[in-house]
Amino acid sequence: VEASGVFCNKEAFRALRGGEYQVSDESSANVPRILLSDGMHLDVAHGTTTAAFEFNGGIIVAVDSRASLGNLVGSRTTEKVLPVTGRILATMAGGAADCSYWIRALSMRMRLWELEEGMPASVHLAAHTLAADLRQRRGMGLSVGTMVIGYNPGGFPCIYYIDNSGACVKGKRFSIGSGSSYAISILDSNKDWDMTMDEAADLAVRAIQRATHRDAFSGGFINVFHIAPDEDWRQIRRIDSARLPNPHSSLGTSSHA
């Protein structure tokens, strides 16, 4: 199904049309590429690779750290994961300034909400607050493709994808950015719910590593974070992708008739 540059399967399309978000003409105007394991994706020309998925031991978030300026590398140490609260994270894909501003503004609002209410903010509240803010500013040239990730009170894992058109989509695994097609292929190759923490972290590293080797706009460090129920998020890996072996170097070449 195609609607104004949004490609998705019939179920995802019905979910979008039946929810708060209505597909609009600017849905794919300035948004990075997004791939969901169920087939939905958006295409635009911004470089990065971010990924998140659920497993038995919590939620894993993995990102690269390269920032691109057109065909140039602007930075290889960009922090693409920002805290919203002690238990909620958000990733950055798209315009660095737009993502950083709106995620930091969201963090301020959620922390004030927690002070006023005396309880942790839910991922649902954070995601829909950000989506509402961006929906009000559709057509203003923003470039935001973010995931809001964490656990709702009660121990329910949540991963939301939000973009500058106001889309707010919940799922179990996402990959966003120019290298997302490479990362999601690795994530989809192992859907074992009962992975250990180390196995899940290794899978995340392999996914981002594949993107850094195949996508010219992804690179730098691979940063991996873990979120568990009733615990604050924490970073568990930081690896220089340039020091990792080429995952394709052992494939060799062969010819077949």
4 has a pLDDT exceeding 50: no
Q: What is the pLDDT of residues 162-196, one digit of tens each?
A: 999 999 999 999 999 989 999 999 999 888 899 99
**CA–CA separation, 241 and 239 (whole Å):** 6
Is 2-240 a CATH 3.40.630.30 domain? no
- Amino acid letter, 84: V
- Domain spans of the chain? 2-240
Confidence of residue 245 (pLDDT cuts 50, 70, 90): confident
Q: Is 85 a catalytic residue?
A: no
Confidence of residue 37 (pLDDT cuts 50, 70, 90): low
Residue entry with tokens 């996402």 = 174
Say if residues 161 and 21 touch (Cβ distance below 8 Å): no
Question: Rounded mean pLDDT of 199-216?
Answer: 93
Q: What is the pLDDT of residue 208?
A: 96
pTM for this predicted structure: 0.78
Confidence of residue 255 (pLDDT cuts 50, 70, 90): very low
**CA–CA separation, 44 and 29 (whole Å):** 8
Q: What is the pLDDT of residues 11-25, one digit of tens each?
A: 443 444 344 333 334
Q: Which residues contact 206 (CB under 8 A, 6 or more apart)?
A: 186, 247
Confidence of residue 36 (pLDDT cuts 50, 70, 90): low
Question: Rounded mean pLDDT of 232-248?
Answer: 88
